[in-house]
């Protein structure tokens, strides 16, 4: 599968959210966003931006580390927010991952590298690298057709 990659430097949480909000405007039903980065890199902040771009309320976003899945209704599409930090591919399937993809919303999954084999090949990969106290380098790899 051919992909295209872009890299973005952000200097604040608001800039990270704005980048994600801009990406959200391009999303189509059924897409998967795979998020990776160290603890505190801004994965949940990125999801806040996605929710904003989809027309939802960003203040409702919190990390789904312990509940595994949060669902947000938006003005456009539902956003399913998963966390794979404590689970593996089998666990991901047991919480209905493939069914979430079929519901016509957007599925954003944090710590996606822990469940790579279970993710669709057409996913959008977002990797967030901490480069300073407030700065981030964010790489977005998406299928060429998107």
3-49 per-position pLDDT tens digit: 899 999 999 999 999 999 999 999 999 999 999 999 989 998 999 99
Residue 110, pLDDT score: 92
3 state DSSP class of 48:
helix
When the candidates are 1.10.1060.10, 2.60.120.10, 3.30.70.100, 3.40.50.300, the CATH number that belongs to 3-99+109-143 is: 3.40.50.300
With vertex at residue 1, the alpha carbon angle to CA 28 and CA 8, rounded to the nearest 5 degrees, is 65
Predicted model pTM? 0.89
């Amino acid at each position: 599968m051919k992909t295209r990659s872009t890299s973005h430097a952000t200097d604040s949480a608001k800039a990270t959210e704005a980048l994600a909000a801009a990406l959200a405007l391009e999303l189509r039903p059924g897409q998967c966003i795979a998020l990776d980065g160290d603890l505190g890199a801004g994965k949940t902040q990125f999801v806040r931006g996605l929710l904003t771009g989809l027309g939802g309320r960003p203040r409702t976003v919190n990390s789904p580390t312990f509940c595994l899945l949060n669902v947000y209704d938006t003005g456009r599409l539902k956003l399913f927010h998963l966390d794979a930090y404590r689970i593996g591919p089998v666990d991901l399937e047991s919480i209905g991952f493939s069914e979430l993809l079929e519901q016509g919303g957007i599925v954003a999954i944090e710590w996606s590298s822990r469940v790579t084999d279970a993710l669709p090949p057409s996913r959008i990969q977002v990797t967030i690298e901490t480069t300073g106290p407030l700065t981030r380098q964010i790489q977005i790899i998406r299928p060429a057709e998107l």
